[in-house]
Structure 1
Amino acid sequence: MFPTDAVAAGECSAPARRDPTYILVDAWMDSYPREPASVTLDIDDTCDVVHGHQQLSLFNAHYDERCFLPIHVYDTEKSRPVAVVLRPGKTPGGVEVRALLRRLVRHIRTRWHNTQITFRGDGHYARPEAMAWCETNGIDYIFGLSGTKPLARKVDEVADDIRTRRAIENLPVLRGYTETRHKAKSWDRERRTVARIEATMLGLDIRFVVTSLDVGSAEWIYDSLYCARGQAENLIKLHKTQLASDRTSCRSALANQVRLVLHTRPLIG
């Protein structure tokens, strides 16, 4: 997880001990008195605006800024950072996400051999390469998923029922949940997909998540498990506003990665 394109693509073979990112991973693991039975790790990226031409900085049209998009990984149950990875200012692709998960899990497994790991993230991380790797290696995931017409048709009957009941009962809001099996064009298999359907006087709002988990109701998967990732967003805001972690003004990408680690270390405690 060096802050370079080669490492983002999983092409670097340098020893893990030389990577400053693993300092945080080790500190997080040290915070546990013993190997936990399971951990849920939230993964998200955030805009880090730059004011120059630092290595890895790119113009991002969504933010209308030249920036980095560093990836943050948190153990939100403990409110502890696990890793922060400096990276270019563009949405991570499937190969990059897979490489990051692989390297992080590989390091965790050097000490925790039996812990069940679940990754949780928004739609940026629902990449077929990442999901396939997780399934092959016994890692669970729950990721946001963009809606498509074929996917919407699979939940249309339930959505119509919720919309009708809201209108008949004259309710301001009525929410329901359902699930289906879905295979997108880029996927090699069907996967469990959960839908949260909310009917209001303004119409329908449907949100989807895809998961490897085969337990729990659709409501529990979405409301209790997936929505808990909101705490990671709060931790990222704290990271930037209270610890000034977006002061990545060095020209060298490696120097800025070290700065990210130094700004993150106080959160370990």
Structure 2
Amino acid sequence: MIDCLADLLRQRIFQTACGYADGNDANDLRQDPAFKLALGRAPLDTDNDLASGPTFSRLENGLTRKDIYRLAKTLVEAFIARYADPPSVIVLDMDHSDDRTHRQQELAFYNPYYGSHCYRPLFLFEGLSGALITAVLRPGKRPTGRENAAIIGRVVRRLRQAWPDTHIVLRGDGHFSNPELMALCEEDAQMDFLFGLAGNPALVPAAKPLLAKARALHEQRRAQAHRLVFKAEVMGLGDNPRFVETSLTNPTSETLYWDLYYARGQDENFIKAIKNDLASDRTSNHTFFGHHMRLFYACVRLHPDPQSA
């Protein structure tokens, strides 16, 4: 039986959602009545078996750069289709994760922060709804500001085509605080950014007066957030200064940090679901694009598009 591409994708995505992360699981599931029914086939017929493991191996290992780009763009289109009307504002949350690799897989580099060879996929979520926008599998090296701006810029341009008047806020932690992404925002009057900022020899000394006040408050068992770009906090284990860099001017210091920036931590829960529940980091393929396809399987199951389910 010849399987169309849509059926192959549905079968692989449904298998992933049910805990069968490997392509060769299809060898045991291709006659399963439940999976046949999910793909619209008569569950008890014997002449309509689903695709086998070798079929998925050929699919994943035959992908090209253009195929991966089109699939990533399809996720963005599915995100846009969720809205009946253009939203007044969206928050574009950005975060990287680690995906450990094994042996000598394509573009797997040693990352000293994680202490292993890995990939570093980039995930984009909408911060107010939690909806996935898209995901990009990357090599294991630390991304540059230019690379971040190139990826985010393509997404923003497509969003801007669909929603010319929507206010877009870019939100991310310290390694997104770079001139390239800030310049991307400055080019669009309807964009702002809210980035964490790592402490440095220039900032930390300037924060010492506020840290001293925070220590006094800590001794009195009181806590208080301070300025727009700096949170002075003293914990049981010591000082915990945090810096935030933003183009937003209206929110108060407390709103900026606790309501706007602090909320980006929810992304990590979504990433955990993609990795731990949907096995996006099952890096048992030998090709980079094959691994990228597996990332897409997991992403689609996290936030399925009602129109294509």
Alignment partners' CA distance in 2, 1:142 and 1:44? 13
Alignment partners' CA distance in 2, 1:81 and 1:56? 25
Structure 1 runs of 4+ aligned residues shifted over 6 Å read 14-17
Matched ranges for 1:100-249 at <5 A: 100-138=151-189, 139-167=191-219, 170-171=220-221, 173-179=222-228, 194-200=229-235, 202-249=237-284
Shift of 1:202: 4.9
2:70 matched residue in structure 1:
19
The 8 Å contact of residues 94 and 122 in structure 2, kept in 1 or not, is answered as yes
The 8 Å contact of residues 40 and 75 in structure 1, kept in 2 or not, is answered as yes
1:5 matched residue in structure 2:
none
In 2 relative to 1, CA 113–248 (structure 1 residues): closer, same or farther, beyond 3 Å?
farther
- Of structures 1 and 2, the larger Rg is shown by 2
User: What amino acid is the match of 1:228?
Assistant: A
Alignment partners' CA distance in 2, 1:154 and 1:104? 37
User: What amino acid is the match of 2:160?
Assistant: R
For 2:118, what is the secondary structure of its paired residue? strand
In 2 relative to 1, CA 114–249 (structure 1 residues): closer, same or farther, beyond 3 Å?
farther
- Given candidates 270, 292, 295, the residue that maps to 1:257 is 292
Q: Output the TM-score relative to the length of structure 1.
A: 0.82
The 8 Å contact of residues 109 and 118 in structure 2, kept in 1 or not, is answered as yes
Are residues 1:92 and 2:143 paired? yes
2:129 matched residue in structure 1:
78
Which range moved further: 242-251 or 120-129?
Answer: 242-251
For 2:125, what is the secondary structure of its paired residue? strand
Alignment partners' CA distance in 2, 1:114 and 1:252? 41
1:186 matched residue in structure 2:
none
Identity over aligned pairs, percent: 35
- Given candidates 49, 58, 63, the residue that maps to 2:100 is 49
For 1:32, what is the secondary structure of its paired residue? coil
Residues 11-58 of structure 1 show CA distances to partners (whole Å, capped at 9, x for unaligned) of xxx989952211111111111111111100111011101113222211
How many residues matched?
239
User: What amino acid is the match of 1:157?
Assistant: P
Alignment partners' CA distance in 1, 2:300 and 2:237? 46
Alignment partners' CA distance in 2, 1:199 and 1:255? 46
For 2:240, what is the secondary structure of its paired residue? strand
For 1:149, what is the secondary structure of its paired residue? coil
User: What amino acid is the match of 2:258?
Assistant: D
Shift of 1:65: 1.2
Structure 1 unaligned blocks of 5 or more? 1-13, 180-193
Q: Output the TM-score relative to the length of structure 2.
A: 0.72
